[in-house]
A and B are shown apart, each in its own frame.
Chain A
Amino acid sequence: MLYNVSHRTTYLYSYPVSVGEHVACLKPRSFSRNKLVQNKLTIDPQPSNLTERIDYFGNILSFFTVEEPHKVLIVEAKSQVEINSQANSATSLSLPWEESARSLAQDRSDVGLAAYQFQFASPRVRLNQEFASYALKSFTPGRPMRDALMELTARIYADFRFDSKATTVRTPPEEVFRKRQGVCQDFAHVEIACLRSINVAARYVSGYLRTYPPPGKPRMVGADASHAWISAYSRDEGWLDMDPTNNVAPTDGHVTLAWGRDYGDVSPLRGLILGGGGNALHVEVDIEPLDV
C-alpha cells in the first residue's frame, strides 16, 4: 500500500519570536515493511540552517534554526511511504511469554541488546507494581506471547475511554492509569509501562493511521491526526506492533514515523524560542492512500 502523508504544524505566537531553534522528527524511517519513497520538509520562514542526523534509535531528526523575527511558524512534512502488510501469524504459535522476557537479559547479541534497552523505565514511563498486576492478568504463566499481548491491548481498549480533553502531553502514565482516560499517546505509555513492569521490552511508535470516510462520503483532507502505538519484543517473532487505541495489530493501515523509549524521544516538533509570549498550535495531518 502506497501513502502520501502530509503533516503540517502551525505555531501562532502572540509576540514575535526573534530566534527559534527546533528539532523535528517528521521524516519517516525506512525498514522492511515501511519504505520511505520520498520526503520533503518545508519550513516558513526559511531557516538559516537545516541539518539532518540519525538518532540513537535510527530515527531521522531534522535540526533547524529560524533567525528572522516571526509570529507564525509553519513546518510541513510531505512524505510518500510504501507499507507492506505485517504478517499476522496464529497467536497460539508463539513461545510462552516468560521465555521471551527472561532470556532477553542474557542475550548479548546486537539484536538482543538493542531490544533489551526498551525493558527499563524511561523519562516519561516509570514502572510500578500496579502496572505489573494489571499486565499479569493477561500474561498468565505459560501463555503464548502474542496471545497475551493481544489480550492486554484489548483490555486497555475496553477499560480506557478516549478523551482528548482529559490529558496533556505531560500527563504521566500513572495518572492516565488512575483516570482510565486519555488519547493514543497515553494508552501507548500505559501499555508500555505494563509490559516493562513485567520485564517485557516495549517501545513507543509514532506515526499515522489510515482513516476511512463514512460510506458514500469523500475522504476529508486534513482531518486525520498523528498517531501512536506500541511495539513489544518477542524473541522468536521480533517486534510485534499493537495499537491499544483501536485494539488492532497493525497490518497495512499504520505508517511508522519513528520509535523510541517514549514520546519524549520522538516528539514530532520541539524547540526553544526567544520571545513569542503565548502560542497556539495547530496540526493538520492527511493520509492519502494512492493505490486502492
Chain B
Amino acid sequence: MIGDLYQSPLRYGGTYEESSVDGITPRPHWAGLMESLQSMGPAELAFRWTQAEQRIRENGITYNMYGDPLGVHRPWKIDLVPLLIPDAEWRFIEAGIIQRAELLNLVLEDVYHSQSLLKEGLLPAALIYPNPAFLRPLVGVKVSRASYLHMLAIDLARSPDGKWWVLANRTQAPSGSGYALENRLIVSELLPELFRTSNVQRLAPFFRAQRDALAQLSERNNPRIVLLTPGPHNETYFEHSYLAKYLGFTLVEGADLIVRDRCVFIKTVSGLEQVDVILRRVDDDFCDPLELRGDSLLGVSGLVQAVVAGNVKVANALGSGVVESAAIMPFLPGLARHLLDDELKLPSVATWWCGQGSALNWVVDNLQSVVVKPAFSSLGMEPVFGSELAAAERERLIERLRCSPHEYVAQEQVQLSTAPVWENEALQSRSLVLRTYVVNTGDGWLAFPGGLVRVAEASGSVVSMQRGGHSKDAWVLSDGPVDTFSMLPPRNELVPLRRASLVVPSSVADNIFWLGRYVERAENQARILRSIIPRVHLADDAELGSLICLASCLGTRSARLADGNRGRPSFNALRRELLALLTDQNRTDSLGATLAEVSRIGDSVRERLSGDMMLLLSQLSSSVQAQKGTFLTSYTAMLTKCLELLSAFSGMERENINRGSGWLFLSLGRRLERAIYLTHELRHVTKPLAVENWAYLERLLEVADSTVTYRTRYYTHLQPLAVLDILMADEHNPRSLDFQLDHLAELYAKLPRNLSADLRAIQDAVSSLRNIDLQAITQRINTPGSYPVEGYVEVDQFLARLQNLLPSWSNNLSSHYFSHARTLPITMGID
C-alpha cells in the first residue's frame, strides 16, 4: 500500500481525485507511478525535489507576479508528480479541443468577413459590436490560410462525475506551452526510469508543427520569424525568451520593430531587416498604437497597415481576442451544428450571457451559485462570487447587470478535481486546471499531448499562477510506442549550410554592449576593493594616502573619506566607505549595484547567452548579496569568489561565443570600460605622488594583475616609469592601455556601417601613445628618487585627452547603433 506517503487520505469533499477512487487504491493508470514513488520513499523524493529546485534556479525559470515583493525572478514552482492521462481519455480530450479550435477559427473568419452568423442570429451582434476586442480595422482583411488561430489554449477542469469541461478559451496570445516544456524536461529527468517505461507522448512534434506552421504563413521561402514580447516585466517573459531560443526565432520588443512603406522591419545594428511573420505575445489592442490603442508602448506603430497590405503575418491574427469572451460559450453548441454539422464534443462549463433576457433573469435569481465576470475582458473587473456578496452589494451588482446586461456573464462555480502534489515531504491533494494547446498546421490541427497543469496554492482554493499556485507536468500515457522525435532534424536530412546567425536587434546590441561594460566594471571594482581591504587593517598612517588614491579610482570623492571632526581622511571613514562600495545598492558606484545591473541586463538578453553563462551571472549576483556584516576582512573571500566567476565568464566569452555582431559589442563594451579604468588609474602616476605613497604603484600592479611581470623585469624596485611602461605602453600586456586601444581599433574596423571618424580617432590615439618615448623621459629625470612632474606632462596630456575621448566613443556607439531602439514615440492628435 502507498498510504504512508500521504499525511491523510487524498480524497476530500465530493471532488474527483485523479489518482485514486477511494483515496487509497490507485486507479490502474496511476499504479506504476504510485508504486515507484513509494519504492523511492520520502527521503529519495525529497532529495530529487531539491535537485529540481536547483535546476529551476540554475535555468533561471521565473514567473513574474505583479505586485509581488520578489518581483521579477520569482522562481517557477513545479511539482514532482505528473498528472497522468490514459490514452483513451486523451483521445477523447484531443478530439474535443481540436473540434473547438476549428470551430472558434471558423467563427473568427465569419465575424471578420461576412458576419453571416450575426445575420442568421446564431451569434448575437451585442456580443461582438460592443466588445473592444472586436478590432474594426481588421474587418475584411484576408488572413493567410484562414489561420486566425495559429495556436490556442483551452483550460479544462474535471467535475466530480469524472467529466471534462471547458473553463476558458485563450485565443489571442496563449501562454504556458514553454513552461509546460520546461516542466517536462525537469520531471522526466527527476523520474527517468518511470518516464522511459511509461510510453509518455513526446512534446517536440508539437513545437516542430508550430514552427512549420508559422513559416508556412509567409509566402517566402525562408521567412524571418520574430517573437514579439511585451518585455522583461511581463509575467511570462521567461517563457518568451525560452521559446524564442527553442524555436530559433529572434526575440523582439515593439521598439525593435518599425514599419516603413507598409512593411515591418527589425532594427538591427547593420540596418533594417524585413520581418515576415510575427508570433506575438502582446495583446490584440496593444499591437499598434497608431490604429488600435494610442497609449500602448508595447506595439509597433503602423502594424495594422502592414497587416492589411498583406506584408506581414501576425499569429494569432489581430482581433482573435474577440472569441476569448466566456459569453460565446452558450452559443458554441449551436455554432458547432451550423458550421461543422456536428455536436460540440467537449462541453463548456455552464455559462449564462446576461445579454439574453432569460439568462439575465436566471442569473439574478440564482446569484448565490454563480461567478459573475465581465463579458469583455478589457472592462477590467475581477470575478465576483455571488455567494460572497452582502445584500447591499448584491443589489448594486444586480443594478449593474440590468443597466448593461450584455457586458456580463455568469458561470457555474466548478468543483475542480484534485491530484496528488509532493509538498512538505508528503503527498497532498490539490485542485487542478489543465491548460491544453492546439496548433493550426495549415492542413489540420495538432494537440499538445498533455499540457500545463496548474495547481491551487492550498487545498480547495482558486487555481491561478498569479496567485501563487504550482504547476505540474501532464503525461499522456500511450498504449503503444511513442514518437521519440526531438527538435533535431533527422541525420539523413541535408541541411543547407548557413554562416550568418540570428540578426542582432539594436536593443539587444545595446544590452550586450552594456553587459560587457558592467562585467568589466565589476571586475575592476572587485580587484581594487580586494587590493585595498586587507591593507586597511595593517596599514600605518603613511599608507593611507596610497589607499585613498586607489579608492578614488572607484569614483570615491575625497570628501567621503574625511573624518567628521578633523576634516582629514581617516581609516574609519575609509572603512565605512569601502563597506558602502561593496554592498550599498543605493549607490550606483558600488559593486553590489554593478552586479545587479549585470544580472538585470543578462536577464533581458538571456536568449542570446548559453545556459552556462546565465548560471554564472545568477551566481554572481547572489555572491555579493549573500555577504553581510561590517567586518571588512570577511569580504575578501567573497571578492575572490566573485573574481573567479568573472574570469569564468570572460573565459566563456573568449572561447565559447561565436564572433558575430553580438560578441563584437560585448568586447567593445569590455575594452572601453577597461580603458576608462586604466586611464583613471594611470593619471595618478603622472601627478605628484609623495614618496610614502609609492605603495600605490604596487597596488596598481596588483589590480592590473601585472605584479609578476613587473617583478621578472624590475625585481622589487618600484619606479613610476616602469609601471607606466607595463600598464600603458606594453602592447603585449592584455591589461595595458595600448592593448585596449589596439583592440578597440580592430573591433571598430569590423563594425557594420562603421564609425569611420571614431575609428580614425582610436588609431590616432594608438599612434600618439606609441610616440611617447618613456625611455627619453627616464633620461630627462636624472634623480630616480624625486618625482618631477614636468617629465610626465606629455603622458598626462595624452591621458587627459583620452579621458574625454573614451566616453564620447561610447556615446557615439549608442547614438549610431542603439539610440533608435530606445526612443519611444509620442502620441499626438488624440488629446
Contacts and interface: CB of A to CB of B under 8 A. Distances in A.
A18 B259 CA distance: 14
Contact of B829 (A22, A49, A117, A274): A22
Given A108-B119, A113-B119, A127-B403, A169 B823 contact: no
Contacts of A272: 289-290, 301, 825-828
Nearest to A277: B826
Given A55-B137, A279-B828, 20 more contacts: A21-B825, A48-B261, A56-B139, A63-B302, A65-B302, A105-B126, A108-B118, A108-B119, A113-B125, A116-B125, A117-B130, A121-B130, A128-B403, A267-B829, A270-B827, A270-B828, A270-B830, A272-B290, A272-B826, A273-B825
Given A55-B136, A120-B406, A113 B118 contact: yes
Interface in B133-149: 136-137, 139
Interface string B756-784: 00000000000000000000000000000
Contact of B115 (A53, A113, A169, A274): A113
Interface string A105-146: 100111001001100111100011100000000000000000
Interface in A241-292: 264, 267-276, 279
Nearest to B140: A56
Interface in B199-254: none
B120 interface: yes
A123 B294 CA distance: 12
B653 interface: no
Interface string B104-143: 0000000000010011110001100110100011010000
B331 to A, nearest CB: 15
Contacts of B262: 49, 51
B831 interface: yes
Nearest to B130: A120
Contacts of B118: 108, 113
Contacts of A120: 126, 129-130, 406
Interface string B597-633: 0000000000000000000000000000000000000
A165 interface: no
Interface string B80-123: 00000000000000000000000000000000000100111100
A12 to B, nearest CB: 12
Contacts of A269: 829
Nearest to B134: A117
Nearest to B129: A117
Contacts of B827: 270-272
A94 to B, nearest CB: 24
Nearest to A122: B130
A39 to B, nearest CB: 20
A168 interface: yes
B171 interface: no
B293 to A, nearest CB: 9
B417 interface: no
Interface of A: 11, 18, 21-23, 48-49, 51, 53, 55-57, 63, 65, 105, 108-110, 113, 116-117, 120-123, 127-129, 168-170, 264, 267-276, 279
4 tightest CB-CB pairs across the interface, nearest first? A270-B829, A120-B130, A56-B136, A272-B825
A190 B129 CA distance: 21
Interface in B391-406: 403-404, 406
The winner among B260, B261, B302, B826 for most chain A CB atoms within 10 A is B826
A23 B290 contact: yes
B191 interface: no
Contacts, number: 96
Nearest to B294: A270
B291 interface: yes
A172 to B, nearest CB: 12
A24 to B, nearest CB: 9
Contacts of B583: none
Nearest to B293: A123
Contacts of A169: 830-831
A48 B831 CA distance: 25
Contact of B302 (A21, A108, A117, A267): A21
Given A21-B301, A113-B119, A170 B831 contact: yes
The winner among A22, A63, A109, A279 for most chain B CB atoms within 10 A is A63
A116 to B, nearest CB: 6
A116 B831 CA distance: 28
A272 B296 CA distance: 11
Nearest to A120: B130
Given A113-B118, A128-B403, A129-B403, A51 B305 contact: yes
Nearest to B132: A123
B829 A271 contact: yes
A79 B828 CA distance: 24
A270 B828 CA distance: 6
Contacts of A51: 262, 305
B125 A117 contact: yes
Nearest to A126: B404
Contacts of A48: 260-261
Given A108-B121, A108-B125, A11 B828 contact: yes
B638 interface: no
B426 interface: no
Contacts of B125: 108, 113, 116-117
B820 to A, nearest CB: 8
Interface string B403-423: 110110000000000000000
Contacts of A279: 828
A21 B306 CA distance: 13
Contacts of B823: 18, 274-275
A147 B564 CA distance: 85
A261 B302 CA distance: 22
B462 interface: no
Contacts of B308: 53
Nearest to A275: B823
A120 B308 CA distance: 27
B290 to A, nearest CB: 6
Nearest to B289: A272
The winner among A22, A129, A273, A279 for most chain B CB atoms within 10 A is A273
B291 A23 contact: yes
Interface string B259-294: 111100000000000000000000000000111001
The winner among A128, A129, A269, A274 for most chain B CB atoms within 10 A is A274
A57 B404 CA distance: 24
A51 to B, nearest CB: 7
A279 B825 CA distance: 14
A276 B826 contact: yes
23 contacts: A11-B828, A21-B301, A23-B290, A48-B260, A53-B308, A108-B118, A108-B119, A108-B125, A116-B125, A117-B129, A117-B130, A120-B129, A120-B406, A127-B403, A129-B403, A169-B830, A170-B831, A271-B290, A271-B828, A272-B826, A272-B828, A273-B825, A274-B825
Contact of A108 (B120, B305, B828, B829): B120
The winner among B130, B139, B830 for most chain A CB atoms within 10 A is B830
Given A113-B118, A273-B825, A49 B129 contact: no
A102 B339 CA distance: 29
A21 B827 CA distance: 10
Contacts of B120: 108
Contacts of A168: 831
Nearest to A118: B129
Contacts of A274: 823, 825-826
Nearest to A106: B121
A257 B703 CA distance: 73
Nearest to B830: A270
A207 B280 CA distance: 38
Interface in B797-831: 823, 825-831
A48 B258 CA distance: 14
B829 A121 contact: no
Nearest to B407: A121
A54 to B, nearest CB: 10
Contacts of A109: 119
